[in-house]
Amino acid sequence: MASVDLPNIAANTPLWLALLTTFVGAVSGAVIGRTPGRTTYDIVGITVFAFFLGVGGGLTRDLLLGNLPPLALRSPWYVVTVLAAVVLVLLIGRWIRVQGWTFILLDALTLGLYAVIAAQLAIEFGLPDIGAIVVGFLASISGGVMVAILRGETPQILRPSQPYAILALIGTTLYVLFDQINGAAAALLCVGSVIVLRFVTLNWNVRTRSVRPLSQEPSRDSADEERGQPGPAQAD
C-alpha cells in the first residue's frame, strides 16, 4: 500500500488547526487595518496586515527551527486562507468591533493556537523544553510585533499594557510541561488558559507597569548633595 506524504511540518498538527490559526489571525490583522486611526490603509495594506498576523508566527517558527522554506510559502492553502479572511472583513468588518468580545476572543484563540503548534513542532525537532517554550512564545507574539512595526508603533508587548506577552509565555509553558502527560489535554489547557486569563485581565484591568528610567533614579552623589553632605569625590 502506498504511503501518504504529509506536509513537512509538525506531523501531529492537523492541517485544519493550522489553517484555523491562520484564519483567526488574518481576520484580526484585517480588522486592525480597517480600524479608524491616524492613518488609513488601502486593500494592499489590509492584506499585508492580515498576512503577517495570519502567518507571521509560522514564519518565525520555521525560521527558528530551520524548517525551510516556511510552510506558509510551500502550501497554497495558507495564502488562500488569508485572502478569504480579508474578503470576510471587507464584507462584514463593520460588525467586528476591535474592543468587542468577538475580536478579543479571536485574538486570544490565535495566541493560544500559535503557542500549541509552534511548541509542538519544536519538541518534534528535538529541542529541550526551554527551547520549545521560547519558540512557542516568539511565534505567538511575532505577528503582532510585525504589524505594529509596519504601522510605525511600538509593539504593545513592549509597553505598559495588558499582559499579552505574559499570557503567551504562560500558555506555552503549560503546554510544554503537560504535553509529556497528554498532548491533547495540554493543547486544550494552553488555549483555554490563555483565553480565560485574557478575559480576566481585561475584566480586572490588569496592566504591566513601566520600569523607572535610569535617569530618574537618584544617584548616591545627588542624594548626598540634597542632604548637604559631600559625596565620595568630595570626602577629602
Give the C-alpha separation, 168 to 137, whole Å: 6
Intra-chain end-to-end CA distance of the chain, in Å: 91
In whole numbers, what is the pLDDT of the chain averaged over residues?
A: 82
In a domain, 225, yes or no: no
Contact of 57 with 118, CB cutoff 8 Å: yes
Cα 195 from Cα 185, distance rounded (Å): 15
> Which three cell numbers, joined as nine digits, stand for 129?
523544553
pLDDT digits (tens, 9 = 90+) for 126-141: 999 999 999 999 999 9
* C-alpha neighbours within 13 Å on the C-beta side of residue 179: 25
Give the pLDDT band of residue 235 (cuts 50, 70, 90).
Answer: very low
* Rounded average pLDDT over 194-221: 80
The model's confidence at residue 227, banded by pLDDT at 50, 70 and 90, is low
Count of Cβ atoms closer than 10 Å to residue 74 Cβ: 14
Q: What is the Cα–Cα distance from 173 to 132, expressed in whole angstroms?
A: 9
What is the tens place of the pLDDT at every residue in 54-65?
A: 999 999 999 999
How many domains does one find in the chain? 1
Q: Give domain status of residue 218, yes or no.
A: no
Tell whether 8 is covered by a domain: no
- Please indicate, yes or no, if residue 228 is contained in any of the structural domains: no
In a domain, 181, yes or no: yes
Angstrom distance (rounded) from CA 37 to CA 31 = 12
pLDDT at position 213 is 82
224: enclosing H helix or E strand: helix 220-226
Tell me: the pLDDT tens digits for 118-177? 999 899 899 999 999 999 999 999 998 999 899 888 888 888 888 888 999 999 999 999
Range of the domain at 127: 15-208
Q: What is the dihedral of CA 156, 187, 120, 197, to 10 degrees?
A: 20
User: Is the separation of the CB atoms in 140 and 114 below 8 Å?
Assistant: yes
Give the mean model confidence (pLDDT) for residues 65-90: 92
Instruction: Tell me: pLDDT of 94 over 90.
Output: no
Could you give the 3-state DSSP secondary structure of residue 236? Answer: coil
Question: Domain for residue 236, yes or no?
Answer: no
**Would the pLDDT of 236 be above 80?**
no
Q: What is the pLDDT of residue 33?
A: 86
Q: Is residue 111 part of a domain?
A: yes
- Position with higher pLDDT, 7 vs 56: 56
pLDDT tens profile 19-43: 888 998 898 889 888 877 777 889 9
Overall residue count recorded for the chain in this entry: 236
Residue 105 confidence (pLDDT) above 60:
yes
In this predicted structure, what is the pLDDT of residue 131? 96
How much is the pLDDT for 12?
A: 56
Is residue 46 within 8 A of residue 33, CB to CB? The reply is yes
- Whether 231 is covered by a domain: the verdict is no
Query: Helix, strand, coil % (nearest 5) of the chain?
Result: 70, 0, 30
Select from 38, 150, 28 the least CA-distant residue to 93: 28
